[in-house]
Structure 1
């Protein structure tokens, strides 16, 4: 068999595998890894200082040191990172805006990733669009890389 044909077949298989993986994972919300994760046992809460509310550390909003610190929603905030030439970002903006209009207490904040690189690095944003669902205190509940559907956003908000 021709070596060029073998290389072509390997590349086609790899591209199809990558495409399938992206199709399955794009826009899916994943739970945030935080000490406030649901289901923690009383022993874990005691170790984290959460058993005694007076000793528990006060949560600090992800947006505390930014221009959006006063724009948090009463119940949740949809924080979107996008860039100028990102086509899925426009669809995500529309979906998140619609959800923020129909769900009381939810706000939508869009951040231009290119203009706010320090925040992008701090939050570990790897691609646009990335949507982070924040609770009322500004703490991350879940995030999705890629364009989520309206149903995925509403399900993620239910967790917040």
Structure 2
């Protein structure tokens, strides 16, 4: 006997479920986040994923506040109005927004949902999730820099380093 306990899978998200931003930035589909990231094969329930996406949006709003104000003052009524450039048939700014939110949400989920175990194997999994969380956060910040580069005179650097 191994002592394993099976947990039922979380119920699926409602069809078309999304987290609505502020009207200027577009909503984020829960299914899109689940499909693009490894989120525990259904182990993350809808309310937890929704909360992570909301937190990611709040973080993104703070990172992009002045950039958004500049674009709005230039006449952009929504994020899609910022650029005509596309990638794979989708507006480039919208694709970057989705990446920003998706990766900030994933970073939070991986950081907050570590395996709790007294075994060395459990500790190794927790360390691996910490590393994954850092990688997702780095990807989100790179997408923020790429988004802030749209409309900028020069590209915004992806790496910000402060020397002490």
For this structure pair, what is the TM-score category when the shorter chain's length is used for normalisation?
under 0.3
> Which structure has the highest strand share of the two?
1
> Which structure has the highest helix share of the two?
2
Larger radius of gyration: 1
TM-score normalised by length of structure 1: 0.22
TM-score normalised by length of structure 2: 0.22
